[in-house]
Amino acid sequence: MSPKKKKAKRKRVARKTGPRCGLCGKTKNLTKTECCDMWICDDEHNYVMFSYDRNSCSRNHRRYTLCAYHYNEGHDGNWKDCIKCREPFETEMYVWYGTNEYNFEKLPNPPDYEPTKCSDCGKVIDLGEDGYSTRGDDYWCDRCSAKRMQEKR
């Protein structure tokens, strides 16, 4: 029998059916989100306070999505076309909260925006992912923030 026919005759292993976390795909220790009734890891206990880790599917969805924000604020309708959800955020952060990997659904047609740049060196700062400091309309990347702190001493 040729190697190709051997492959075709192998038994297919049936995948376990049942709920899966909509973010990471795990099948154990699941719960449903309050905001959108989706299956998600019941793992918030894994988060260490002030670690800023993003190791909890549940916490990430609850804290870093427009879906959860919309629910927590008690807004009516769908979060994807809620005008009230647009108002409190800079456009860059609105887009990040609606399109990051902690969403089950992404914001369709997110608005364009000018990237945020460090007021000192001009480096682009990703407000949703990078570290930075700010005062008024000025933003500073981590490197320039540290340099400014050293100058203040």
Give tens-digit pLDDT for 64-98. 999 999 999 999 999 999 999 999 999 999 999 99
Residue with tokens 């955020």: 89
Kindly list the domain boundaries of the chain, sorted by start residue: 19-46+54-114, 116-152
- Residue 42: the pLDDT is 96
pLDDT at residue 17, rounded to an integer = 77
DSSP 3-58: HHHHHHHSPPPPPPPS---TTT---SSEEE-TTT--EEE--GGGPPTTS-----HH
Per-residue pLDDT of 6-58, as tens digits, reads: 555 555 555 567 899 999 999 999 999 999 999 999 998 888 888 888 899 99
List, for residues 99-127, the tens digit of each pLDDT value.
Answer: 999 999 999 999 999 999 999 999 999 99
The two structure tokens encoding residue 143: 């490197």
